[in-house]
Structure formats: C-alpha cells, structure tokens
Amino acid sequence: MPELPEVETTRAGLAPHLEGRRVTAAVLRRPDLRWPIPEAIEQVLPGQRIETVRRRAKYLLLDTAVGSALLHLGMSGSLRVLPADTPVRAHDHVDLALETGNGGVAQVLRFNDPRRFGCLLWQPSGETHTLLRGLGPEPLSEAFDGDHLFDLSRGRKAPVKTFLMDQAVVVGVGNIYAAEALFAARISPLRAAGKVSRERYAALADAVKAILGQAIVRGGTTLRDFISPDGAPGYFEQELSAYGRGGAPCPRCGRALKQASIGQRATVWCGHCQR
C-alpha cells in the first residue's frame, strides 16, 4: 500500500494542476470503490473551485468552499491529470472534469484503481469525516516528538513497532518506514512499547522525521503498483536498510538480519544492533 511519502508525492504533483481550478463535472463509471461514492461528488462538487490540495495521514483532500473530496489510493490507486480526450482504460473509475485553463486544453483528474481498495468520499465544510477522527499527529509536525511517544506508551505491552504504526499514536508511519526508523534508532521492533525510555523515543521520533523527509524528497518507495503522478516510480527502495532484507547482512554489523511477523506484517531487524 502506498505510504505517506507516496501520498505526499502525489499531493505535491497534483496541487499545481488543480488548485484554483473549478470542477465542471464528475463522471463515475461505477457507483463504488471500497465504499459507495456519495451523491455529493456528482451533485455538490461540480461548479466548485479547488482551493487547496492537502494531505491528512494517507488521505488526500480537495478542498472547496462547500466541502472536500476525500480520496485514498488504497493498494493500487493512482491519480493523473490528463487531457479530457485521453482514452479510458480498464479500471479508470472516476473523472473529475476541470475548467479549461489558459492553454485551452480540457483536462480531467482521473482515478484509476484496479483493486478498488481506494475510496472517493465527501466531507462537508466544517465537519470532520469519520475516517479522519481520532487520528494522531502528523509525523513531520511539531506535535510529534519523543515526549509524545513516551507519554502514550506508558503501560503498553504491545511491540513498539505495532505501537508506532497505530494511527491514533501518529499517522502515516506504515510498515516500511516503521522498520527503517526502528533500525536507525537501534530499537528492537519486539520490545514492549512501555519498556522504551524517553531518550530512545526521542531518537525514534527523530529517525521517523528524517527517514520520511528523505523519502518524500526522493519520491517515495517503489512499490509494485505505485507510480507517481508523472509516471515515474519512486526510488527510495534502493536505500532501505531493513525492510524486505531478511537474511541479508546488516548494513552496520554484517550479521544476518532477522525476520518475523508482528501483527501479521513482515518485520526485519538486526538482533545485534537493535535492542
């Protein structure tokens, strides 16, 4: 599933092409993706100007004066701004037609999703969608630091990797980047969250910020189904230290990296360097 850097890369790629432009029509080629597409997408969104394109956790929001279109890429979704006459492919489920710009070329925002695990929903102005309620802070914000992790972790017996991936603790730290941050901070993913010290959580928070920031700059991590809005894959994968490298030499000590399943997710770590 595309993680936060992939979603942020998508947001940054789309924003210059969408912000300030009016949606003239919504074309739905099926009534649902993961969930039914609400009537507001066809009845309320057309005629509205997209004021901002922003991200909350792994969701993208197209903000207008009356509400926001809420999108999630799921496991295989992609969003492209294309000429309106671009032939429709299989799994091109939604087009949001955009007012003609200065170039005079009609364009659409096209949502392609082969597995249909993504979503297109509606958040009325002044409300917070159910999916966005109860979320923790953004990992690159000032609200996220070692003290935040330490305070929430007291008494927690769950593995620290599971704790770090809890969206109520901090949003957007998925399997890949949790593994990489724990490796960088030298913390075993198996250690109980409540047994990690404040100092080590400070190192972990710093690692999360550094690794996510680096991945965003590099366009995210290449996943099987993910490509960025310009069609180019991300390339952070070649720099991964732990994720997907079970049995390979540890970049620090050379010992074989261990691999196990934690919370039904593949987890790789160094039994020597991470404690």
SS (H, E, C) the chain: CCCHHHHHHHHHHHHHHHCCCEEEEEEECCCECCCECCCHHHHCCCCCECCEEEEECCEEEEECCCEEEEEECCCCCEEEEEECCCCCCCCEEEEEEECCCCCCCCEEEEEECCCCCCEEEEEECCCCCHHHCCCCCCCCCCCCCHHHHHHHHCCCCCEHHHHHCCCCCCCCCCHHHHHHHHHHHCCCCCCEHHHCCHHHHHHHHHHHHHHHHHHHHCCCCCCCCCCCCCCCCCCHHHHCCCCCCCCCECCCCCCECEEEEECCEEEEECCCCCC
Q: How many CB atoms lie within 10 A of CB 187?
A: 24
Tell me if 129 is assigned to a ligand binding site.
no
pLDDT band at 130 (very low <50, low <70, confident <90, very high): very high
* 53 Rama sector, left if φ>0, alpha if ψ -120 to 50, beta otherwise: beta
Tell me if 91 is assigned to a ligand binding site.
yes
Tell me if 154 is assigned to a ligand binding site.
no
Average pLDDT value for residue range 234-238 = 53
Say yes or no to pLDDT of 100 above 90.
no
> Residues 158-189: pLDDT tens digits?
999 999 999 999 999 999 999 999 999 999 99
What the chain holds in terms of domains, given with CATH numbers, is 4-132 (3.20.190.10), 146-270 (1.10.8.50)
Say yes or no to pLDDT of 226 above 90.
no
Where in the sequence numbering do the catalytic residues fall? 2-3, 58, 265
> Residues 62-84: pLDDT tens digits?
999 999 999 999 988 999 999 99
- CA 5 from centre of chain: 6
- Confidence (pTM): 0.88
